[in-house]
Amino acid sequence: MESLKNYPIPPKELISGRKSILSILLEMKALKLVLLLLFIIKLTASYSQNDTPKFQFGVKASPAISWLSPETKFYKNDGTKLGFAWGFVTDFHLLNNYFISTGFSVNYVNGKLKFPSEVQVESIVVKGTMLRDYRMRFLEFPFLFKMKTNSFGDYRFYGQMGFITGFNIKSRSVDVFYPETGPTINDELDIYDETTFARINLAVGGGAEYKIDNSTSIFFGLMFHNGLTDVLSGKNPVDFRTEKAVPNALEVTFGVMF
């Protein structure tokens, strides 16, 4: 075994330098802790000075106009569809007029596409044009940053923006196939395997609240949903291209907060 005398002893300047770095790190951690405590104190003080509840629960109903924007070659949008969503809302008060709005809802996402396709009639493959009416249902969880104005009498206005994550719970289609020759073919299909399991969209909107009493208010608003991810995952039977389309919607919301 080698003697410890063979190992050089670190100079005092190096030891003191390490101690200085360690002390700086400890001071930075202490500063972060102090800032965190100040932030908590500020939040607590804001709650004590403001009669706004820390959180509110509510229900909402949202009729909408929705459409699909295709990203696959030869696919075309075939018009808008009426949609609908219902669910529960929770607003968490952060600071002054700032809130986090979340909850969950069931959203009926609809749209129509037109694209080349083929179907098998008995033992014959027939080419033509497909008009497909998509009827999808998503369980959605929003995470929105909401800003409210001060009260104008019994009214209060708000704007909100954030992301909504949805999970596919049902997908069906109503098909009308126009063959190159022969009669039109109508069908209804379960297309859950041809749609994606999840989607994300950016939501931007605003509205107004009307205070009924100290704990109850009604609200109404307008929100635009800009899809960020595809909702289709099937293959076109003609050229085997992967189907891609992004859903968008313009939504009107009515609800009650308790």
Question: Is pLDDT larger for residue 120 or for residue 139?
Answer: 139
Looking at the fold, whether 37 and 60 belong to one and the same domain comes out as no
Looking at the fold, whether 196 and 167 belong to one and the same domain comes out as yes
**What are the φ and ψ backbone dihedral angles of 78, each rounded to 5 degrees?**
-115, 25
What's the CATH number where 82 sits?
A: 2.40.160.20
Tell me, yes or no, whether 6 lies in a domain.
no
Tell me, yes or no, whether 84 lies in a domain.
yes
Please state, in angstroms and rounded to a whole number, the distance separating the CA atoms of residues 141 and 138: 10
71 pLDDT higher than 60: yes
Tell me, yes or no, whether 230 lies in a domain.
yes
Q: Where are the alpha helices (DSSP H) in 94-218?
A: none
73 pLDDT higher than 60: yes
Looking at the fold, whether 141 and 26 belong to one and the same domain comes out as no
DSSP string, 152-184: BTTEEEEEEEEEEEEEEEEEEEEEEEEESSS--
Average the pLDDT over 91-97 and give the result: 93
Tell me, yes or no, whether 3 lies in a domain.
no
39 pLDDT band, cuts 50/70/90, is: low
Tokens of 216: 């109850």
> Residue 109: which domain range?
53-257
Tell me, yes or no, whether 5 lies in a domain.
no
pLDDT digit string, tens, across residues 213-250:
988 999 999 999 999 999 999 999 999 999 999 999 99
Looking at the fold, whether 36 and 136 belong to one and the same domain comes out as no
37 pLDDT higher than 70: no
Tell me, yes or no, whether 106 lies in a domain.
yes
Looking at the fold, whether 160 and 183 belong to one and the same domain comes out as yes
Name the 3-class secondary structure at 6.
Answer: helix
Looking at the fold, whether 131 and 115 belong to one and the same domain comes out as yes
Looking at the fold, whether 39 and 111 belong to one and the same domain comes out as no
Strands 198-211 and 217-227: antiparallel
Strands 245-257 and 217-227: antiparallel
Question: Is pLDDT larger for residue 143 or for residue 49?
Answer: 143
Task: Give the number of domains in the chain.
Answer: 2
Looking at the fold, whether 35 and 135 belong to one and the same domain comes out as no
In terms of Cα–Cα distance, which of 95, 187, 88, 96 is closest to 133? Answer: 187
Looking at the fold, whether 40 and 98 belong to one and the same domain comes out as no
